[in-house]
Copies of this chain bind each other. A is one copy, B any other.
Amino acid sequence: MELADEAGIESVTMRELGRRLGVKAASLYNHIAGKDDLLDGLMNLALSGIDIALDGLDWKDAMRRRAVSAREVFARHPWAAGLIDSRDRRGRESLAYVDRVLGVLIRAGFSTADAANAFLVLDSYIYGFERQRPAAPEGNGTDGTGEAREILAAIPEGEYPFAARVAAEFSGKPFDREAAFEFGLGLILDGLERSLGH
């Protein structure tokens, strides 16, 4: 996980991992079944950082909490989301997770079909959000203003006026990703609440 966070998931090779551990690549096979096994473990390790202690909360608070916590995980480990959809999601661990979430929704009054729908919609948003991250800027800070400036400079004069306006807007002030996430999350949760009362 340290290796993936620091150097990117593409740097997680058997030989590189071995180098970090002071060991040759082949020796790793005494401990794991193969690279798939390694990546499965990595995925579960990341997923275990998502808060699903949802008992006793209102369904909306529970879903919001889960979503915010999931986004933090995906922001901290940008490789996690990509890892998830390149492999099977049907492990025991994720089944428990699914059951927890569905339980909250069904107990709140959603039909089984509606609960499945709500789950899918919410997770689509959650999993999709941190992917909408522009490629990391080179030598700038982490607020993205430098990158916005860079994009702005690359836009041909007058050809893309609206993109230019938006880039100009965010070259001055940082973009608050967390706030943007919660804005969209609120839209979805409010909509689900409305759909609950027919």
List A residues at the B interface (Cβ < 8 Å): 82, 85-86, 88-90, 95-96, 98-99, 102-103, 106, 112-113, 115-117, 120-121, 123-129, 131-135, 151, 154-155, 160-163, 165-166, 169-170, 175, 180, 183-184, 186-188, 190-192, 195
Contact = CB atoms under 8 A, between A and B. Distances in A.
A43 to B, nearest CB: 14
Contact of A169 (B116, B151, B160): B116
Nearest to A119: B166
Contacts of A175: 116
B195 A188 contact: no
Copies of this chain, whole number: 2
Contact of A131 (B115, B117, B127): B127
Given A121-B125, A121-B187, A125-B125, 5 more contacts: A124-B132, A126-B128, A187-B192, A188-B191, A191-B191
Contacts of A134: 89-90
Contact of A132 (B103, B120, B165): B120
B132 A127 contact: yes
Nearest to A85: B131
Contact of A88 (B96, B103, B127, B135): B135
B169 A117 contact: no
Contacts of A98: 160, 163
Contact of A188 (B133, B154, B184): B184
Contacts of A90: 134-135, 151, 154
B116 A170 contact: yes
